[in-house]
Structure 1
Amino acid sequence: MIQIKNLHKKFGKNEVLRDLDLTIEPGGIIAVLGPNGSGKTTLIKSILGMVIPNEGDILINGKSIKREWKYRQQIEYLPQIANFPNNLKVKELIRMIKDLRQRESNEMHLIALFGLEPFLDKKLSTLSGGTKQKVNLVLTLMFDSPLIILDEPTTGLDPVALIHLKEHLQREKDNGKTLLVTSHIMQFVEEVADEIIYLLEGKIYFQGSPEKLKNQTRQTNVEHAIAAIAETTHA
């Protein structure tokens, strides 16, 4: 379980998170949505300990993460933009991450799932953006951790890879894992998310199921429902 209590974060005079309270129960896929600058990335990086809040606390499984680091070993994180060493081959990067983590991994299944076999001996500098994203997904999903955070995981993926990703996330959920996902692709969110959290200007304007969101806004799909909330909050 993730508990966020009275979280505040400023960058200079810019208040990015404002008195944010949030509880995320274990298990399921939670989509964190909001326009650019809404505080999504700051929230995620606060959970990861990459951003230190000005006020408030974050508890994971009942323990505060302040001045802690070991809890991160139970989290996998896919950043929105991954900067890889261009001179490494794909298989060398995977091996390096395995050596660093010193944990059991299932990279061969994921390499096959995303069709990366032909690219293992290629240098990262030669890969397309979509292929780099598949490598990024393999590196994130190859370890068995209870919490997975994915920042825009669909970026650059072709339709087949997107189907495989959705199926894999469903399997991870069925295994009892908690997945936090950000995405601008509302159809993807509607297909995978059990819960939606909508952030705007550092505050939560909605938390609940996609069905609850559609009922509350009287819309037939998540895309129109999110647009309806955005229009209401800006009115």
Structure 2
Amino acid sequence: MSGPAPLGVVVDLDDTLYPQADYLASAAAAVGVAAGSAGLDGAAVHAALRSELAAGSDAGGTIDRALLAVGVPASALAEVVPPLVAAFTLHSPPRLSPYPGVEESLRQLVAAAPLACLTDGNPAIQAAKVAATGLGPLLPVVVVSDSLGGRAVRKPHPAGLLAVAGRLGLPPGRLLVIGDRPGKDVAVAAAVGARSIRVRQGEYAAAPDEPRAEAVVDTFPEAAELALDLIGALTHG
């Protein structure tokens, strides 16, 4: 890695700090319960939704497609979908376990440099995830890109990272972004001239390194150690 040392660190949330599959499984179960309460086959809806989410969690309309898959007619979707979407959106999982070593790594980072989290998604959902991981006290600044303009400003749109830079009082180009998705986390860093480290884990672990981060590692603690080294916070001896 070359260039000026980063002055602040920005971490992604989903599949960077904890496995997003755990949240999706929990939310899908909540939708299944709501479907059962609405007179549908809750178990079938639950299974169909899990299948849809496994095919790609970024895609919209997953609940619609799950209902169609279990035989709900398209003409009934307008009535059936909204309460199920509400069950998904309002779901607050009791606990989401961070990846091993994440909590200690965040403690080291927040003690060494300004630290923030930049995440895409429904603000209520993302807030529930942060709360369930128990990592909130270690993330002094959390910016949810959707709160700045909806899906249109999700990463790699630079709006979220620029907002983080403003909250931290740092030049955008002096940030270091740690995330799991090249097309989002690495790309948004490149969009503002910032540096990045990719963590190869979660749903997109096998995605190609395009664009390529300055470093690619397998775990968040590895990424944090690199970040600390770059900002001069590690003592070697």
TM tier relative to shorter chain: under 0.3
TM-score between the two structures when normalised by the length of structure 2:
0.26
TM-score between the two structures when normalised by the length of structure 1:
0.27
Q: Which has the higher contact order (CA 8 A, sep 6+)?
A: 1
Task: Give the structure with the higher percent strand.
Answer: 1
